[in-house]
């Protein structure tokens, strides 16, 4: 649609695909009404994203379950992280969480705080706040891990990832993360199938 641009991060399938993207709405732009055959998951990164159900500022986490529909728009413009066709049909909880008003809980190591956002089956979604100098123990990801760095710099033995970095660690991967300067990340675990067919389905 005019005024709506996307940057593909991950895609398995054709136009209707298991996909992860960054989508940018110019001020005053709209997208046609559409349904979510495989669900839709959104993190608002900048600006205000809207639909007929409400207005969602930066830091809002949204889940539109399988079978829902809406007509999104943005009056002032916005940038969002969007995941499509990746929800279980039985996961029918619609969510709208303003993470600025969320509750931080102690993490597994000193210097780590966690804000749980959603859990279904093996899937877990949260914000994680790393104080400067925090180091986490080596650990594996049986169901994979996906990360968006919101603020600061996230690190592990494979690299250094500043704000705006997207990471996907496949099922069975192992790493030892830390943050020398501190960071905030959106993280999703346990949702990646061990193998996938060319259409994005589990093989």
Residue intervals in the chain for CATH 2.60.120.10: 4-98, 103-189
Which two structure tokens, joined as six digits, stand for 180? 């020398």
Whether the pLDDT of residue 195 is over 60: the answer is no
Whether the pLDDT of residue 199 is over 70: the answer is no
Residues 6+ apart with CB under 8 A from 193: 171, 202, 203
> CA nearest 137: which of 161, 107, 167?
107
CATH number for the 4-98 domain, one of 3.30.43.10, 3.10.180.10, 2.60.120.10, 3.40.50.620?
2.60.120.10
CATH number for the 103-189 domain, one of 2.60.120.10, 3.40.50.300, 3.40.1160.10, 1.10.10.10?
2.60.120.10
Q: How many CA atoms lie within 13 A of 146 on its CB side?
A: 17
For residue 10, what pLDDT is reported? 84
200 touches 179 (CB < 8 A): no
Whether the pLDDT of residue 8 is over 80: the answer is yes
Q: How confident is the prediction for the chain on average, in pLDDT?
A: 90
For residue 17, what pLDDT is reported? 65
How far CA 90 is from CA of 41, 93, 139, in Å, comes to 15, 9, 29
pTM of the model: 0.89
What is the average pLDDT across 109-134? 96
Whether the pLDDT of residue 133 is over 70: the answer is yes
Q: How far apart are CA 129 and CA 194, in angstroms?
A: 28
For residue 16, what pLDDT is reported? 61
Which two structure tokens, joined as six digits, stand for 42? 């959104």
What is the average pLDDT across 33-62? 92
Whether the pLDDT of residue 200 is over 50: the answer is no
83 touches 148 (CB < 8 A): no
Q: Which long-range contacts (CB under 8 A, 24 or more apart) does 2-6 make?
A: 2/29, 3/28, 3/29, 3/30, 4/29, 4/31, 6/82
What is the average pLDDT across 141-168? 96
pLDDT tens for 161-178 read 999 999 999 999 999 999
For residue 38, what pLDDT is reported? 86
Q: How far apart are CA 178 and CA 190, in angstroms?
A: 20
């Amino acid at each position: 649609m005019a005024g709506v641009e996307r940057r593909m991060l991950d895609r398995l399938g054709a136009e209707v695909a298991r996909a992860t993207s960054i989508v940018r709405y110019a001020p005053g732009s709209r997208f046609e009404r559409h349904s979510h055959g495989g669900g839709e998951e959104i993190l608002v990164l900048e600006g205000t994203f809207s639909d007929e159900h409400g207005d969602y500022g930066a830091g809002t986490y949204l889940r539109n379950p399988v079978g829902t529909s809406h007509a999104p728009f943005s009056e002032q413009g916005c940038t969002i992280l969007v995941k499509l066709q990746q929800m279980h049909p039985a996961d029918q909880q619609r969510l709208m969480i303003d993470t600025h008003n969320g509750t931080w809980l102690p993490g597994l190591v000193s210097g780590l705080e966690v804000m749980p956002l959603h859990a279904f089956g093996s899937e877990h979604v949260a914000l994680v706040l790393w104080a400067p100098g925090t180091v986490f123990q080596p650990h594996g990801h049986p169901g994979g891990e996906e990360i968006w760095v919101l603020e600061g710099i996230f690190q592990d033995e494979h690299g250094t990832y500043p704000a705006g970095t997207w990471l996907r660690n496949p099922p069975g991967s192992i790493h030892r993360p830390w943050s020398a300067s501190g960071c905030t990340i959106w993280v999703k675990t346990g949702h990646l199938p061990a193998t996938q067919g060319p259409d994005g389905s589990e093989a």
